[in-house]
Structure 1
Amino acid sequence: MSSAPRLCDSLGNPLSLDDPTSLRAVNDFVEGFISCEARAVDVLAAAHDPSPIVQAYCATLHLFAESGDAAANARPFIDRAQAASARATSREQRYIAAIAAWAEGDITRAIALHEEQAKEHPRDLASLKLGQYHCFNVGDCPGMLRLALTALPHAGDVPYLHGMAAFGHEQCHRMREAEASARRAIAMERKEPWAHHALAHVMLTEGRLGEGLDFMQGVSDTWVGLNSFMVTHNWWHVALFLIDLGRDADALTVYDNHVWGVVKAYSQDQIGAVSLLARFELAGIDVGDRWQDVGGYLAHRLDDHVLPFLDLQYLYGLARAGRPEADTLLQRIEDFAPKAPPSTRSAWQRVCVPAARALLAHARGEHATAIEELGLALPRLIEIGGSHAQRDLFEQVYLDALVRNGTGGSLAGAQGILQQQVNRQPESRRLLRQASAVYARLGLPA
């Protein structure tokens, strides 16, 4: 029988702590996680406390490394949490079970457990945000939104929940609701970087490029004390606006000062750098020798296979850096896909494998192969996760391959894609420049 909880976290969730002095570390994790602040890692200072929830939170941080050894590093904490779970609360037990499922690659079960938690303990916002992370990684945008809306009647006093709802709305293409939720979050707490991020997505999608740049630069003074993903990713969004507005030198400066170099060994910092360098080149911007620095870090990622979305960008970065490890990673992706956990195997086999072949082909100038293989992957690309803005990289690569392939059919396809994009984003100088070049080759007025 579980012992009666003695304490509650800062959101009011009962805790069963062996060491009451761990309460501050637990709150640092909960508050830091939902606010994207670096202090979430401070719970590791309480790793000596055998309390099940403390051990589970430590395991969570290890799994967020998104590295090949993350599950092994998390395993001792999970084992200790499970061994002591009989004295944990039911909420804590479900969280422990969800972390164990994550470590085992059973993302379907992990999401189901987080959904149960949202219904029974809607103020467990750390669980909710983790559930959104898993939904995001498998392309379940409605699941992201459903989690947030389930908790809103019970935790609407927490600004970060409105930010979570905003991103869920945006990924479901509900732009009006997304903007309202983001602005509510920011009105409650100006330093709400996830709400800033959601609003940047809305403005990019709606072609409000100048407004989006002004907004993000206007709140960038609050991006302090954040985890490296959040600070580099919000600056990544600033760079996207700059690229589209034709401010190439400013975009490169953002890359050098804010996107690459915060935590170079971290997965999310690496893919942010890869995707931004790729966008620079696709927009005709010379990146100099920047690929080489990133490639040196990507060469350690050959056996990760944590998320297909990550592996694809590691592969492209290696290829653009001219490293032979790109071929090795492609082979290992092809070998791993049939053995991937059941809940993600289809995404690895049907999306990641053809997309990987396409990206390697594009990086090496084999445009017909890139068109053929990406043509297989693009209709199902959402299955590998990532946001609309992040997945747009693959669509840009496909478009570039069509243009460079140069046949009449390829150019006609490129025209159709580009004109629709110009219609949605008339402020984009990048798109206008690309469309004008295609129209000239087709013998049509720009």
Structure 2
Amino acid sequence: MTYTDADAARHYEQALGSLLHFREEVAAEAGAVLQASPRSVMGNVLRTYLGLLGTEEKDAAEAATAFGAHRRDVPPAGLTPRERMHVEAASCWLGGDMHRAGRILAELVVAYPKDALALAVGHQIDFLTGNATLLRDRIGGALSAWDVDDPHYGLLQGMYAFGLEEAGHYTLAERVGLEAVERNARDVWGIHAVVHAYEMQGRHEDGIRYLDARTDDWSTGNYLNVHNWWHYALYLLATGRTDSVLAVYDDAVHHEGSAGAAMELLDAASLLWRLYLTGTDTGDRWPALADAWAQRHDGAYYAFNDVHAVMAYVGADRISDAERLVRDREAWLRGAGTGRPALSNVAMTAEIGLPVCRALVAYGQRRYADAVDLLVPVRHRLHGFGGSHAQRDAVQRTLVEAALHAGRHDLARTLLSERLNLRPQCPYGRDARARLQSA
């Protein structure tokens, strides 16, 4: 590790362990690397990745400034080949090209399959770009190079389990995920993979029991706890316990003490939106959530976040704010789309983000036929702007509800047939089919 002394290397290993466990200590340990060795190449790369993984525009800008200074100070000639690839990947992502950054990290792990940082960051890029095949194969392609006794092996299994689930291998995903968590009880990403496998099979009671049995392992002290509480709330919603859903929302998903991070706010919006689609009274939660999004003053950085901000504005009946966001992104595209075509968010916004945002606005204005017309062309391409199947299902449900409201009965029948043949026991699908039959 170039320009990295033994003390810095020790902190780097501790930071890496915290990153793989989603522990909050990762930031302090990454800082300790640079305190011990300010010019450490991998220390600076790690700090840069941490500034990017949260999809926070402000954090990314700060990371870009710091990394730019590092690159001016440390010439590439003295770096190892692996370090140069990390530097190139980090630079590409800072420049807005997530897809190229992911490709570079994929090339890196062909030569260095035990680079846990490259695997973990590449895995998250695959998630943020919605690439289910790479979520599975990036980890699967490296896993055989690992010794099963390696302390990080189980954490790689947890990543692999999530990739298997997103690629549709639910039974195998459950098995690998359970084995990963047996190796590391506080592997919250592995727990999260098992939870996704249950969600996609409609095994909501199994999911509740699994999370209840491991509450102490996943519910506090990590960056994924809000998201896993969101999954818990989805299970409660599916089993008809709306009061409990709102209690989880207030206690864990969004409240006065929430940090206001995009990853947490989008979970809050996604959960309330599902209740909005069912006509459930959620009290004053929408206005508070819309305020939280507005206070961020986000620019055009990640279309997936934009969609959830629009959900919050529409849910709070702040249509003008939603329309203003849409106009802002349209104006950004007119500039960025021609000037910086390599930006991953250009295609994400143009092809998926804006059509979905416009559809949400149309739904909020009860222009259901317009919502249908906007969503049908993109419904099989929603993965292109990131997230998981479970997250994107909020948009898929919006299409179902819009089709029902618009009287598009043939389309609604087709959509519900798709859902129920995959998850015949899913209460939402059965309820929507009953409403269609009544109509």
Same-fold call, TM cutoff 0.5: yes
2:333 aligned residue? 337
CA distance in structure 2 between the aligned counterparts of 1:327 and 1:412, rounded to whole angstroms: 30
CA distance in structure 2 between the aligned counterparts of 1:259 and 1:276, rounded to whole angstroms: 9
Whichever residue aligns with residue 258 of structure 1, its letter is A
1:257 aligned residue? 251
1:77 aligned residue? 66
CA distance in structure 2 between the aligned counterparts of 1:237 and 1:95, rounded to whole angstroms: 33
2:85 aligned residue? 94
**Cα deviation, residue 266, structure 1:** 0.5
Does the C-alpha gap of structure 1 residues 259 and 290 become closer, same or farther in structure 2, counting only changes over 3 Å? same
The answer to whether the 8 Å contact 1:139/1:383 transfers is yes
The answer to whether the 8 Å contact 1:50/1:80 transfers is no
CA RMSD of aligned residues (A): 2.1
Question: Which deviates more from structure 2 when the two are superposed, residues 339-348 or residues 89-98?
Answer: 339-348
1:126 aligned residue? 117
| Counterpart secondary structure, 2:25 | helix
Does the C-alpha gap of structure 1 residues 114 and 366 become closer, same or farther in structure 2, counting only changes over 3 Å? same
1:4 aligned residue? none
Whichever residue aligns with residue 360 of structure 2, its letter is L
1:435 aligned residue? 433
**Cα deviation, residue 20, structure 1:** 3.3
**Cα deviation, residue 301, structure 1:** 4.4
**Cα deviation, residue 192, structure 1:** 1.4
Question: Which deviates more from structure 2 when the two are superposed, residues 103-112 or residues 73-82?
Answer: 73-82
Does the C-alpha gap of structure 1 residues 112 and 430 become closer, same or farther in structure 2, counting only changes over 3 Å? closer
1:5 aligned residue? none
1:161 aligned residue? 156
2:289 aligned residue? 294
CA distance in structure 2 between the aligned counterparts of 1:87 and 1:375, rounded to whole angstroms: 52
Does the C-alpha gap of structure 1 residues 135 and 183 become closer, same or farther in structure 2, counting only changes over 3 Å? same
CA distance in structure 2 between the aligned counterparts of 1:142 and 1:343, rounded to whole angstroms: 22
CA distance in structure 1 between the aligned counterparts of 2:253 and 2:192, rounded to whole angstroms: 15
Q: Is residue 139 from structure 1 mapped to residue 130 from structure 2 by the alignment? A: yes
| Counterpart secondary structure, 2:260 | coil
| Counterpart secondary structure, 1:69 | helix
Does the C-alpha gap of structure 1 residues 126 and 224 become closer, same or farther in structure 2, counting only changes over 3 Å? farther
Q: 1:149 aligns with which of 124, 140, 146?
A: 140
The answer to whether the 8 Å contact 2:127/2:387 transfers is yes
1:235 aligned residue? 229
2:31 aligned residue? 44
Does the C-alpha gap of structure 1 residues 98 and 232 become closer, same or farther in structure 2, counting only changes over 3 Å? same
Whichever residue aligns with residue 249 of structure 2, its letter is Y
Whichever residue aligns with residue 299 of structure 2, its letter is D
CA distance in structure 2 between the aligned counterparts of 1:427 and 1:176, rounded to whole angstroms: 17
TM-score, structure 1 as length reference? 0.89
Whichever residue aligns with residue 59 of structure 2, its letter is A
1:9 aligned residue? none
1:373 aligned residue? 374
The answer to whether the 8 Å contact 1:53/1:88 transfers is no
**Cα deviation, residue 224, structure 1:** 5.2
**Cα deviation, residue 122, structure 1:** 1.6
The answer to whether the 8 Å contact 2:219/2:228 transfers is no
- Map Cα deviations across residues 125-153 of structure 1 (whole Å, 9 max, x no partner): 12111111112222222122221012212
| Counterpart secondary structure, 2:144 | helix
1:325 aligned residue? 321
Question: Which deviates more from structure 2 when the two are superposed, residues 213-222 or residues 429-438?
Answer: 429-438
The answer to whether the 8 Å contact 2:33/2:40 transfers is no
- Map Cα deviations across residues 345-402 of structure 1 (whole Å, 9 max, x no partner): 3332122221111111112222121111112221321111111111111011111111
CA distance in structure 2 between the aligned counterparts of 1:293 and 1:428, rounded to whole angstroms: 31
The answer to whether the 8 Å contact 1:264/1:270 transfers is no
| Counterpart secondary structure, 2:342 | coil
1:172 aligned residue? 167
| Counterpart secondary structure, 1:123 | coil
**Cα deviation, residue 419, structure 1:** 4.5
Q: Is residue 34 from structure 1 mapped to residue 20 from structure 2 by the alignment? A: yes
2:402 aligned residue? 401
Whichever residue aligns with residue 144 of structure 2, its letter is P
Aligned-residue identity in percent: 26
CA distance in structure 2 between the aligned counterparts of 1:45 and 1:299, rounded to whole angstroms: 34
1:415 aligned residue? 413
CA distance in structure 1 between the aligned counterparts of 2:116 and 2:343, rounded to whole angstroms: 24
**Cα deviation, residue 174, structure 1:** 1.6
Whichever residue aligns with residue 286 of structure 1, its letter is D
Aligned residues: 423
The answer to whether the 8 Å contact 1:33/1:40 transfers is yes
CA distance in structure 2 between the aligned counterparts of 1:396 and 1:317, rounded to whole angstroms: 16
| Counterpart secondary structure, 1:16 | coil
Q: Is residue 268 from structure 1 mapped to residue 263 from structure 2 by the alignment? A: yes
2:197 aligned residue? 202
Q: Is residue 103 from structure 1 mapped to residue 94 from structure 2 by the alignment? A: yes
Does the C-alpha gap of structure 1 residues 190 and 235 become closer, same or farther in structure 2, counting only changes over 3 Å? same
CA distance in structure 2 between the aligned counterparts of 1:395 and 1:358, rounded to whole angstroms: 11
Q: Is residue 58 from structure 1 mapped to residue 59 from structure 2 by the alignment? A: no
Give structure 2 stretches of 5+ with no counterpart: none
| Counterpart secondary structure, 1:66 | coil
**Cα deviation, residue 86, structure 1:** 4.0
Whichever residue aligns with residue 28 of structure 1, its letter is Q
Q: Is residue 277 from structure 1 mapped to residue 272 from structure 2 by the alignment? A: yes
